[in-house]
């Protein structure tokens, strides 16, 4: 039998999830300015789609409600990912990447990192470079500390700056509601505010003053058991006080979700998106209605997780 080699793809589309940190423990500021983290990532069904097609030169286009806030030049994380993968394989990054953006921009849900992960997977398939997963994960870590998790998805414990990942079992599908704020928060600014608050409180902000960040065993047990109530009780984010200090109105959003019946809540990553854990789909709808009626956020999104990381959804030949 003769096997005809498949024609090279004309386009590859990859779907990639946003993340919420169900635990974000922040250590002291290291001499290099970074902070060690114990970061429990959780991938949710809210996501972006990146489509790669051949082009004469690297080009980015973006659609979606926040499209005007996304850079189209070489600073776009998806463009950086395409360049890095091309360099690795000694080729030119001649690709058009279209980002259908649904993840809130600068919202603490790692949307840029998600697009970088999706671009790695899409370009790898378009170019037929067949990069092994461990190499993709190394390239992802070079691009940013949240990028490797967007490749893996599911739930995972991130150590170091968040890029050293250990997948975690999750015993049940979890219902989430996200309150999207007007405008974003800069992640470096939120870390600086966290350090400032620690200094102001007299505890100090350096590694010798702050205990090493550790995952919470109760949270990991709750995840593995699929015990939503225990998970809700264990949600923590060491950046939350800093995000609230920079954006005090987020306290009203958190209260509105709690009043609407959320089991637990927290600021997502560096914020300003707020995440609410609901008992079931019906309760998630009630929390969403309460948040929408409260006027304390720009948009409300109902979703669930965990879901897989960046994966191909369509190949056109």
Nearest to 100 by CA among 182, 11, 16, 177: 16
Contact string (CB under 6 A) for ligand ATP, positions 57-76, x = contact: -------------xx---xx
Beta strand spans in the chain (E): 11-29, 35-54, 59-63, 95-100, 155-159, 164-167, 174-180, 236-237, 264-267, 274-278, 299-305, 311-316
Nearest to 176 by CA among 219, 231, 113, 105: 231
What lies within 8 Å, CB to CB, of 304 at 6+ separation is 44, 45, 173, 174, 175, 176, 281, 284
The residue count for binding ligand ATP (CB under 6 A) is 22
In angstroms, give the least distance from the CB of 79 to ligand ATP: 8
Contact string (CB under 6 A) for ligand ATP, positions 270-289, x = contact: x-------------------
| Catalytic residue of the set 66, 115, 146, 238 | 146
Q: Token pair of 45, please?
A: 């069904």
In angstroms, give the least distance from the CB of 17 to ligand ATP: 12
Instruction: Reduce the DSSP state of residue 64 to 3 states and report it.
Output: coil
Instruction: Among 154, 260, 269, 309, indicate the residue that binds ligand ATP (CB under 6 A).
Output: 269
Residues within window 138-157 making contact with ligand ATP, judged by CB under 6 A: 146
Nearer to ligand ATP, 99 or 123 (CB): 99
Instruction: Among 12, 52, 77, 84, indicate the residue that binds ligand ATP (CB under 6 A).
Output: 77
Binding to ligand ATP by residue 115, rule CB under 6 A?
yes
Nearer to ligand ATP, 77 or 256 (CB): 77
Burial (Cβ within 10 Å: 0-12, 13-18, ≥19) of residue 268: buried
The backbone torsions φ and ψ at residue 232, rounded to the nearest 5 degrees and listed phi first, read -60, -40
Catalytic annotation, residues? 19, 146
Q: List residues binding ligand ATP (CB under 6 A).
A: 70-71, 75-78, 99, 105-113, 115, 146, 184, 187, 269-270
């Amino acid at each position: 039998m003769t096997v005809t080699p498949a024609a090279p793809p004309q386009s590859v589309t990859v779907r990639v999830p946003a993340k919420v940190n169900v635990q974000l423990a922040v250590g002291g500021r290291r001499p290099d300015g970074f902070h060690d983290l114990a970061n429990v990532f959780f991938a949710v069904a809210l996501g972006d789609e990146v489509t790669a097609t051949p082009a004469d030169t690297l080009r980015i286009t973006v659609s979606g409600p926040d499209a005007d806030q996304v850079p189209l030049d070489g600073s776009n994380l998806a463009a950086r990912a395409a360049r890095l993968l091309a360099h690795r394989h000694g080729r030119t990054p001649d690709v058009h990447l279209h980002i259908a953006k649904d993840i809130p921009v600068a919202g603490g849900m790692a949307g840029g990192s998600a697009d970088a992960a999706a671009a790695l997977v899409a370009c790898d398939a378009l170019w037929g470079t067949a990069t092994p997963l461990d190499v993709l994960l190394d390239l992802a870590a070079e691009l940013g500390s949240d990028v490797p998790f967007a490749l893996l998805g599911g739930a995972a414990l991130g150590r170091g700056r968040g890029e050293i990942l250990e997948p975690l079992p999750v015993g049940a599908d979890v219902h989430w509601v996200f309150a999207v704020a007007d405008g974003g928060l800069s992640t470096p600014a939120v870390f600086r505010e966290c350090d400032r608050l620690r200094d102001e409180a007299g505890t100090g902000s350096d590694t010798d003053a702050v205990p090493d960040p550790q995952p919470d065993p109760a949270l990991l047990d709750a995840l593995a058991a699929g015990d939503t109530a225990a998970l809700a009780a264990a949600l923590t984010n060491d950046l939350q006080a800093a995000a609230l200090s920079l954006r005090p109105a987020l306290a009203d959003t958190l209260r509105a979700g709690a009043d609407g019946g959320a089991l637990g809540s927290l600021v997502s990553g560096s914020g300003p998106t707020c995440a609410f854990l609901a008992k079931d789909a019906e309760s998630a709808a009630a929390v969403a209605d309460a948040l929408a009626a409260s006027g304390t956020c720009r948009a409300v999104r109902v979703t669930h997780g965990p879901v897989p990381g960046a994966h191909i959804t369509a190949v056109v030949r």
